Amino acid sequence: MSNNNLRDSGVKLLCTGLKNIACHLEILRLSDCSITEEGYKALASALRSNPSHLIELDLSGNDPGPSGVKQLDDLLQDPNCQLKTLRFLCPAAEEACQYVRGIVGKNPLLLRELDLSRRELGDTRVNQIAALLQDKHCTLNTLNLWGCSITEEQSLVLTSALNSNPSHLRELNLRGNKPGDSGVKSLSDLLMNTQCKLEKLNLCGCSITEEQSLVLTSALNSNPSHLRELNLRGNKPGDSGVKSLSDLLMNTQCKLEKLDLWGCSITEEQSLVLTSALNSNPSHLRELNLSGSKLGDSGVKNLSDLLMNTQCKLEKLDLCGCSITEKQSLVLTSALNSNPSHLRELDLSWNHITNTGVNHLCDVLKDSGCKLERLSLNRCGITDVSSLTRSLRNTKALRFLKELDLSDNMIGDSKQQLVDVLRDSNCELRVDEDPWPRVPDRVQPSRVPDRVQPSQDDGCCIS
């Protein structure tokens, strides 16, 4: 009965016959019959009451709506249902549904989150997933394609599909794939689509070049109000990419909360441009990762200006492996001391903080407004933590601090004072039993030496 104007009322009349126990109908084709959610509900109900005969049902070209899809899915779960073929999507999308169901056990049209990470999809699967994504019945909020070996051509297919049905997607993870020029251009078209309301974008390790960074950030700048998290770690934005990213950050409509630029080879001049941009629009940012950057004196000074800005509400700051000197650490900690109430996590590992920097950091911990929960000072050239332990015991900081990483520092006899801190009834610190000094994954690989067994003086491994 395909290609007739049955509508829901016609389907309901048909259902009267389907419910009849004498009805042994095996094949029913109702494609393009203007059937909506109400008709699907009636049809599913009728088939549940007499499920044993129908083996093929074609409903393609109709609009089941979310509950209609759920009704069909429940029907298929009925042990008495003998349906072998159910069509209401294009063939490629149907294949994608079967593939996804085999992985996650559920119909992707009923999912809000689809995780296909670490699966090599290949051209056939990518085309099927693309057909699913562009179908109007697909309402995925989160799509995780991390490490799927997606090529440039496949990226183009996927992002083009998303661009044809963009309004539901809120989170996209393409980490570890190779979108190339055409994939990045197509992704940028998606980001510029006014119907696109993407909030989280992860492009970590996607080999994005300076020119591609420029294209992406320019696209984001044309539709900036929805994005909340941007992960560009391990890419090479270069001068023009950083400048374009800074333009985005200065846009008053930009409400970015998390920015990850770990291992992006950010230079002193680039860090100056970035931090100036952040300082002009600081109220939304909550997490900033500049690990592996070369901040230099001017970058540290500008970052300190941002931290002192009363509108700055940064909660997490990662500066691991930024070649920060003892003098620069004093500038940073002075800035933190002037506005300490928001910061919850601070990572200064693999910098030359030394005892002097730690002593200065104690002033931050002594502040009554300080509520720091995680402090990482791994491999910072620290030999004495006496002032740090005194500060912890004599202030309210000990009530808040949950993690303290001093591994790979030669703190010698002063580690006994840390043991005394752990005995304090107000202490919330966790003990790390791992005897190996930990090298954070935030440090650039070129800076990470081979791990060797620590000597007796190689830190206390308390966290």
Pick the CATH number of 7-87 from 3.40.50.720, 1.10.8.100, 3.80.10.10, 3.30.470.10: 3.80.10.10
- Residues of the chain whose pLDDT is less than 50? 433-463
Label the pairing between strands 374-376 and 403-405. parallel
Please report the pLDDT score of residue 194 as a whole number.
Answer: 94
- Cα–Cα dist 133/370, whole Å: 46
Please report the pLDDT score of residue 458 as a whole number.
Answer: 40
List the domain boundaries for the chain: 7-87, 338-463
Using only C-alpha atoms, what is the Rg of the chain?
29
- Cα–Cα dist 207/408, whole Å: 32
Q: Are 7-87 and 338-463 the same fold in CATH?
A: yes
CATH 3.80.10.10 fits 338-463, yes or no: yes
Please report the pLDDT score of residue 450 as a whole number.
Answer: 35
Please report the pLDDT score of residue 352 as a whole number.
Answer: 95
Cβ partners under 8 Å of residue 90, min gap 6:
60, 131, 135
Cβ partners under 8 Å of residue 185, min gap 6:
215
Please report the pLDDT score of residue 460 as a whole number.
Answer: 42
Sign for the pseudo-dihedral over CA of 231, 236, 240, 242 = positive
216: which 2 tokens? 């992406």
Please report the pLDDT score of residue 85 as a whole number.
Answer: 79
Comparing CA positions, the residue from 75, 78, 121 lying closest to residue 99 is 121
